[in-house]
């Protein structure tokens, strides 16, 4: 009984495997297919008017028209794709230029603030730290701020760009006007006058 079941299983498996194999195509098979195609073309040429189909010449003309339309459509699609790529590159270029200009403006603003800053307690500003007072008062005279003429550090230093410029936004360019600084001039004592 077991042997019969094993044999039956082998027969079924061989049948399934053999049915799943691809059919082999030979030259004689190709020749038969070619003969059928030629016979169908000959039948079409003889009976196209009776069957209500267009003539073979009309079919060739329609194929040429269709091919021309496809070529034109492909050319239009290619031009549209190239234009889209060009616009994308231009947009990227403008974005990079905007970032570069904004970075340049920020760098100039930072440079201007650093160059005109009072420098903290010892770095200048209205007083030059302890050194200027000690050297001035210990010698009996007033060098520096209270001396005749305008002291170069005696000015009101703003924390904005004094040179002017512009600010770039995605929608517009905003001009920043040039700012004037106020300077003092000593007038013979410790009281200064507006210059």
Rounded Cα–Cα distance for residues 52 and 61 (Å) = 17
pTM for the structure as a whole: 0.35
d(CA 79, CA 73): 10
9 domain-assigned? no
Q: pLDDT band at residue 130, thresholds of 50, 70 and 90?
A: very low
> What is the band of 72 on the pLDDT scale with cuts at 50, 70, 90?
very high
Does 175 map to a domain?
no
Shortest CA distance to 156 belongs to which of 116, 190, 189? 116
- One DSSP character per residue, the chain reads -HHHHHHHHHHHHHHHHHHHSPPPP-HHHHHHHHHHHHHHHHHHHHHHHHHTPPPHHHHHHHHHHHHHHHHHHHHHHHHHHHHHHHHHHHHHHHHHHHHHHHHHHHHHHHHHHHHHS--TTTS-TT---HHHHHHHHHTTS--STTSSS--TT-B---SS-TT-EEEE-SS-EEEEPPPPPPBEEE-SSS-EEE-
Q: Is residue 75 domain-resident? A: yes
pLDDT the model gives residue 129: 44
Percentage of the chain beyond pLDDT 90 is 27
- Using alpha carbons, select from 117, 113, 121, 124 the residue that is nearest to residue 154: 124
Is residue 85 in some structural domain? yes
What percent of the chain clears pLDDT 70, i.e. is strictly above it?
60
Q: Which carries the bigger pLDDT value, residue 123 or residue 79?
A: 79
CA distances from 34 to 41, 47, 57, 69 (A): 11, 20, 22, 31
Check residue 112 and give its pLDDT.
65
Residue 44 lies in a domain: yes
Domain count, the chain: 1
Q: Mean per-residue pLDDT for 173-190? A: 61
Domain that holds residue 81: 35-116
Within a domain: 55: yes
Structural domain includes residue 100: yes
Give the relative orientation of helices 27-51 and 56-116 as an angle to the nearest 10 degrees. Answer: 100
Q: How confident is the model at residue 188 (pLDDT cuts 50, 70, 90)?
A: low
Predicted pLDDT of residue 7: 84
User: Most confidently modeled of 29-38, 117-126, 163-172?
Assistant: 29-38
- pLDDT tens sequence across 26-62: 888 899 999 999 998 888 888 888 888 888 888 889 9
Instruction: Classify residue 105: in a domain, yes or no.
Output: yes
């Amino acid at each position: 009984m077991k042997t019969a079941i094993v044999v039956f299983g082998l027969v079924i498996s061989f049948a399934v495997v053999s049915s799943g194999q691809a059919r082999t195509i030979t030259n004689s098979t190709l020749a038969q297919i070619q003969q059928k195609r030629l016979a169908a073309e000959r039948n079409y040429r003889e009976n196209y008017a009776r069957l209500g189909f267009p003539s073979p010449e009309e079919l060739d003309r329609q194929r040429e028209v269709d091919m021309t339309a496809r070529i034109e459509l492909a050319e239009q699609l290619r031009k549209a794709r190239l234009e889209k790529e060009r616009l994308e590159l231009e947009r990227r270029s403008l974005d990079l230029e905007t970032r570069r200009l904004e970075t340049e403006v920020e760098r100039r603003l930072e440079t201007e603030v650093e160059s005109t800053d009072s420098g903290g307690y010892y770095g200048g500003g209205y007083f030059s730290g302890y050194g200027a007072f000690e050297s001035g008062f210990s010698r009996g005279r007033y060098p520096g701020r209270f001396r005749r003429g305008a002291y170069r550090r005696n000015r009101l230093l703003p924390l904005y760009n004094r040179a002017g410029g512009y600010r770039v936004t995605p929608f517009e360019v905003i001009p920043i006007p040039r700012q004037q600084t106020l300077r003092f001039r000593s007038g013979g004592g410790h009281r200064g006058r507006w210059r």
